Amino acid sequence: MTLMGAAALLILILTYAGVAIGRIPGLRLDRAGIALLGGAAMIAIGAISMEDAYRAINFDTITLLLGMMIVVAHLKVSGAFRGLGAIAIEHAHAPFMLLVMVTLLTGVLSAFLVNDAICLVMAPIVVHVTRVINRNPIPYLIATATASNCGSVATITGNPQNMVIGALSGISYPAFSAALAPVALFGLIAVIVIVRIVYRAEFTRTAELAPHISRGRMHRGQVLKAVIVCIGLAIAFFAGVPVAKAALIGGAILLLTRAIKPDRIYREIDGPLLFMFAGLFVVVAGAERTLLTPDLIASAKNLGLDDVWRLSGFTAVLSNIMSNVPAVLALRPFIPGLENPERAWLVVAMSSTLAGNFTLLGSVANLIVAEQSKAAGTPLSFGAFFKVGLPLTLVTLVAGTAWLALGF
C-alpha cells in the first residue's frame, strides 16, 4: 500500500468512527463537521482533486433531501401535521386502537415523507395525548419510533439512506415501492403485535378514552396548498418524474406564500445533515480512488454478498456499527459487481432501515423520540426499547429478506 493509500485508509477509518460515535473526544465536532473534515483531508492529501470532489457529491440526493425538508417543514409550520394527528387520534377510544392509530399514522406519513421529521412531529403529540388520558406513554412512543422506521422502507423518499440508494441505483420510484411496500406493511403489523404482547398490561386494562389534541393555530390556506403539492408530488413520483426534480419544484412552490415567513421554514431544514452527506460522498470517493482496486472490488464475491440472506445480515450488522447512511455508502463500490445489483440495492435499503429498530441508538428517528420523551419527563430507556426492538428487528428482517429472495 502506498503512503497516500495508508493516509486515505486512516482518514476513512477516523471519519467513519467519528460519524458512528457522533463526536471526537476533546473537540466540539458533530457528525457533519467530522464528515466535512474527512472530505477536506482527502482533498488535502491528494486522494481526490477538487473537481472530482465536486463530481463525487451526488447532488440528486442532496436536492431530493432539501426539497422534501421544505415540504415537511411547510406541513409542520402550517399546522397540517397537528390537524391530521388530531383527527386520527381523537377517533381512538381504546388503548389498543390508540396504538393502531399511532402506528399506522406514523408509518404511512414516514413512507412518503422523511421519517426523522415525522418523529419530530408525532412524538410530542403522543406524549401530550397519553398525559391527558393518563396512560403509560412508553408503548406508544416505541411504536412511533419503530413504525417510522418500518414505514419508511416503502419508498425512496422515506428516509435518507433510501434517497441515496434511489440516486445511486437508478431504480424507479414505482419499482422500489412495489418491491418494498409489502415489507413496510408487514413491519407495521409486526409493530402493533409485538408492542401489544410486550406491554400487554397497558392494553389489558380496559378503558374508554377520549383523547383530545389542541390543534393550535392553523393556516388553512397553506394547509390546503401543502396537501395539493403533496398529492402532486406523489403523482409525479409514481409517473416517473425524477424525484429530485419533483421535490425541488414542490418545495419551491410552497415557499411562494404571504402567510408564512421564509425563516420559519429555513429553521426546520436540517443543514448539518446535508453537509454530512456531502462530506461522506467525498470521503468514500477518495477511498475508492486510492484503496479499491478491481481485485478488491471483485473480492466481494468471496464474501458471498450475492446471497440475499448474507447481504441482508451483513448490512444489518454494518448499519448498527456505523449507522445506516455511512453503511450504504461503504457498500456502494461493491453492489454494481454483484450478480443482481437491483435486488442487492433493495436488500440494502430494506436491511439498513429495519436494522435501525434493533436498539435505541439504531436510528436518528429513535433518538428523536427518546429526546422528545426525556424533555417531557417520561424518559424512554434502552432496555424498554430493546424489549420490542430485538424481536421486531429479527422478525421483519427475516420476512423482508425472504420476500426479496422469492420476488427476484
Is pLDDT larger for residue 354 or for residue 90? Answer: 354
- Residue 205 confidence (pLDDT) above 80: no
Cell of residue 31, nine digits: 457528525
- In 3D space, the residue among 72, 112, 104, 69 whose CA is nearest the CA of residue 85 turns out to be 104
Q: What is the pLDDT of residues 6-41, one digit of tens each?
A: 898 899 888 888 887 777 777 788 888 999 999 999
Spatial CA neighbour of 166 closest among 330, 31, 315, 348: 348
The answer to whether residue 89 scores a pLDDT higher than 80 is no
Q: What is the dihedral of CA 299, 327, 190, 135, to 10 degrees?
A: 160
What's the pTM? 0.85
Rounded to an integer, the average pLDDT of 77-104 is 79
CA distance 350 to 312: 8
Q: What percent of the chain has pLDDT over 90?
A: 42
Over the stretch 149-204, which tens digit does the pLDDT of each residue have?
999 999 999 998 999 999 889 899 999 999 999 999 999 999 999 999 999 887 77
User: How far is Cα 267 from Cα 261, in angstroms, rounded to an integer?
Assistant: 11
* Length of the chain measured in residues: 408
- Is the separation of the CB atoms in 154 and 114 below 8 Å? no
Half-sphere exposure of 329 (CA within 13 A, CB side): 30
Task: Using alpha carbons, select from 355, 343, 353 the residue that is nearest to residue 404.
Answer: 343
Q: How far apart are CA 115 and CA 121, in angstroms?
A: 10
| Of 334, 338, 303, 315, residue with least CA distance to 400 | 315
Angle of helix 308-322 relative to helix 382-407, nearest 10 degrees? 150
Q: Are 25 and 19 in contact (CB under 8 A)?
A: no
Q: Is the pLDDT of residue 408 over 70?
A: no
pLDDT higher than 70, residue 67: yes
Sign of the dihedral through C-alpha 307, 311, 314, 317:
negative
The residue among 316 and 207 whose pLDDT is bigger is 316
C-alpha–C-alpha distance, residues 328 and 321, integer Å: 12
What average pLDDT does range 345-368 have in this prediction?
90
Q: What is the pLDDT of residue 121?
A: 84
Residues 6+ apart with CB under 8 A from 45: 4, 7, 8, 11
Confidence of residue 294 (pLDDT cuts 50, 70, 90): low
Q: Is the pLDDT of residue 399 over 90?
A: yes
pLDDT of residue 207: 62
Banded pLDDT at 388 (limits 50, 70, 90): very high
CA distances from 27 to 22, 33, 268, 365 (A): 11, 10, 26, 25
Distances (CA, A) of 326 to 2, 11, 81, 160, 168: 25, 14, 30, 11, 14
Q: What angle do CA 236, 241, 243 make, to 5 degrees?
A: 85
Q: Is residue 151 within 8 Å of residue 188, measured between CB atoms?
A: yes
- Supply the mean pLDDT for the chain: 87
Please, where are the H alpha helices in 57-172?
Answer: 59-78, 80-89, 95-112, 115-132, 138-152, 160-169
Coil, helix or strand at residue 304 = coil
Backbone angles phi, psi at 268, to 5 degrees: -85, -10
